[in-house]
Structure 1
Amino acid sequence: MNKIITLIPGDGIGPEISESLKSIFAAAGVPISFETENAGTDVYEKTGELIPESLYKSMEKNRVAIKGPIATPIGKGFRSINVYLRKKYDLYSNIRPCRNLPGVKTRFENVDIVIFRENTEGIYIGEEKYEDEGKTSAIAIKRITEKGCHRIIKSAFEYAKNNNLDKVTVVHKANILKLTDGLFLETARKISEGYPKITLEETIIDNMCMQLVSRPEKYKVIVTMNLYGDILSDLVAGLVGGLGIAPGANIGDDIAIFEAVHGSAPDIAGQNKANPLALILSGIEMLKYINLHEYAEKIEKAVLKTLEVSDVKTADLGGIATTTEFTDKIIENL
């Protein structure tokens, strides 16, 4: 019996790249079925709801979802639909793998980094207030808990252990933020004691940015708080070719959402120009998560072969192929 996955196509180019994903999975014989539920601008314009109740029910039944880019209407509803879903389902671990891919030209070589970003705390809790009636001074709250620190840092160390990696880099600003970032750093030090074969490297956030654009090949696993992780994951994606080839996963204890982290690109929506690679790579990570490793490997090999030996690529990858042509080439290489 096929595993049922909730598919959230999203806005803009989301439906097009979702069709690409479905076609490749079908051609590879992946034993899953997609249950489609949508959220975002298109849904809001049709129903007045940014996230319909049917999507929640599907998520809570299937426990695994994959989604395209979602646009949050400005001035309406949530600050961010993505942030809301992460908080609602306590998807505390945002995992962003970034590596050099064959046939994708960049200035850097041998980049293979996984960023573990705490996903539910920090400055992104969205608690803000004015200090005075004239609204000339505002405060944003940054909340860090020992529980939140422990589970994301533990996830990073377990990943390093399971992949035979000998270093985890914890990124912080504890030299200034001695209580919040200090708690994160102290928790990392305590957890590292349980992994004697893995070195804990401590790096301040501003230095981390410089190191990543100077010697990114030095780093394998980075773990950090919400805002720093948001910035670093986009920075690292830029090292290997951009957000168009960057997969993402939001994982909790018993529920997960895999996603293309780029924008909805409304300027090219419906033109068959979009690069579906970020969603496809996220789909590969999803297959690993649900223990369909054979299919994940099969699709990954086809993607890498397409990039390495074929000139059938979308414009952002240096080619002139349409979304459909690029998808068909991957299927041909399965």
Structure 2
Amino acid sequence: MTVYRLGVLAGDGIGPEIVSATVDVFKAAAYKVGVEIEWIDLPMGWEGIKQHNDPLPEVTTKALENTHGWILGPHDSAAYPPEHKVKLNPSGALRHTLDLFANIRPAKTMPGIKSVVGEANLVIFRENTEGFYADRNMFAGHGEWQITEDVVVTSGVFTRKAVERIAHAAFKMAMKRHKKVTIVHKANVLRLSTGLFLKVCREVAEQYPEVAVDDYHIDAMAAHLVRRAKDFDVIVTENMYGDILSDLAGELVGSLGLSPSINSNEKLAMAQAAHGSAPDIAGLNLGNPTGIMLSTVMLMEWLAERHHDSKLEEIGKLVEQGLYQSLKDGVKTKDLGGNASTSEFAEAISERIDQTVLS
């Protein structure tokens, strides 16, 4: 039997609390299904600075290459010492260093959570390595230049290779869902850069004739999400647009604090919630672990497909069902109007996992 090795980077702020709660819940589900997982704690963020004077120590990056995947807690890079602020933050560095080109961010209505757009179930594929994020689109340097005290120039990078691989990832997902892909761009103004993104996505679409394809300008797409989020299935777009749209979509279906994601390539995947580290409530056992738990569900689904092991998918389903049932039963953390602590919320999910009868 395969023993899966999963890295655990607890991070800053509420990170240690919500990540610990997540590991506890997945231990319960793995035990129920009969899968052995080795959880490997690795320093990141303030813990990395304390141990190695680096928020993302080389020992951590190297160790991750020998795992099947990992959980990344939130980081508080804005509070790091000045010498570390100038570096890529830990999540950006991992995406860049390990070429995690696909940032996959679903937005789905949940039981017991108010959605301002009614029922919706979509997933955004954000190209994770290029586009208009200057800190991620260079082999070296950051892609920003201050020409004079009053003039700054920044760059965006778009390559056929990067667009092709994120497009294929989106279309493959669409084939498993409702066979519809929406391409988001700004080719009417940024004719060469996002024009290339649109052109290459359209070329890739020809390889998936069963998938219906449409496209929208980024500004119009934001309006369409607010007006009719339920009409969309898979959305593919460049780095910055994907970041903005996924935050919007997450808030529309309930809360950005509940939003999950994974960052992946063909060989590695990282579970990472979309929210921040909430340092104001750190250590108080108040953080909501829903986002990181659902991100880890996505990680299990990714691992199940990569390793052809349906038991991993079953682990994810157990956790997701237990989490949704807990919300439906009114077990909620303070941010959702409830009174459950982080650990109490996790315990409620574990109890429901234990009570589930496996088919």
TM-score by length of 1: 0.96
Q: Can you list the C-alpha shifts for 1:211-262, whole angstroms capped at 9, x where unaligned?
A: 1111111111100000000100100000111122111100012111111221
Comparing 200-209 with 120-129, greater Cα deviation is found at: 120-129
Tell me, in whole angstroms, the C-alpha distance in 1 between the residues paired with 2:209 and 2:303.
Answer: 29
- Is the 2:170–2:235 contact (alpha carbons within 8 Å) kept by the matching residues of 1? yes
Question: Structure 1 residue 59 and structure 2 residue 64: aligned?
Answer: yes
Kindly report which structure 2 residues correspond to 1:266-281, keeping only aligned pairs within 5 A, or say none. Answer: 266-281=279-294
Cα distance, 1:74 vs structure 2: 6.1
User: 1:75 maps to what in 2?
Assistant: 82
Question: Structure 1 residue 304 and structure 2 residue 318: aligned?
Answer: no
User: 2:302 maps to what in 1?
Assistant: 289
User: 1:250 maps to what in 2?
Assistant: 263
Tell me, in whole angstroms, the C-alpha distance in 2 between the residues paired with 1:123 and 1:95.
Answer: 18
Q: Secondary structure at the match of 1:61?
A: coil
User: 1:149 maps to what in 2?
Assistant: 163
Q: Can you list the C-alpha shifts for 1:111-135, whole angstroms capped at 9, x where unaligned?
A: 101000000001212301123xx32
Tell me, in whole angstroms, the C-alpha distance in 2 between the residues paired with 1:227 and 1:33.
Answer: 35
Q: Secondary structure at the match of 1:181?
A: helix
* Aligned partner (choices 125, 130, 134) of residue 146 of structure 2: 130
Tell me, in whole angstroms, the C-alpha distance in 2 between the residues paired with 1:54 and 1:79.
Answer: 17
What is the percent sequence identity of the aligned residues? 38
Kindly report which structure 2 residues correspond to 1:197-236, keeping only aligned pairs within 5 A, or say none. Answer: 197-236=210-249
Q: Secondary structure at the match of 2:82?
A: coil
User: 2:93 maps to what in 1?
Assistant: 84
Matched letter for residue 265 of structure 1: A
Cα distance, 1:46 vs structure 2: 4.5
Count of residues in correspondence between the two structures: 330
Question: Structure 1 residue 241 and structure 2 residue 254: aligned?
Answer: yes
* Aligned partner (choices 110, 118, 125) of residue 101 of structure 1: 110
Q: Can you list the C-alpha shifts for 1:298-321, whole angstroms capped at 9, x where unaligned?
A: 11111111111x222101122011
Tell me, in whole angstroms, the C-alpha distance in 2 between the residues paired with 1:154 and 1:259.
Answer: 22
Q: Secondary structure at the match of 2:8?
A: strand
Distance 1:95 1:225, change over 3 A: same
5+ long unaligned stretches in structure 2: 305-311, 354-359
Tell me, in whole angstroms, the C-alpha distance in 2 between the residues paired with 1:40 and 1:328.
Answer: 27
Matched letter for residue 114 of structure 1: V
Q: Secondary structure at the match of 2:22?
A: helix
Q: Can you list the C-alpha shifts for 1:73-114, whole angstroms capped at 9, x where unaligned?
A: 263331322111101001000000110000011222111010
TM-score by length of 2: 0.89
Tell me, in whole angstroms, the C-alpha distance in 2 between the residues paired with 1:46 and 1:55.
Answer: 11
5+ long unaligned stretches in structure 1: none
User: 2:4 maps to what in 1?
Assistant: 3
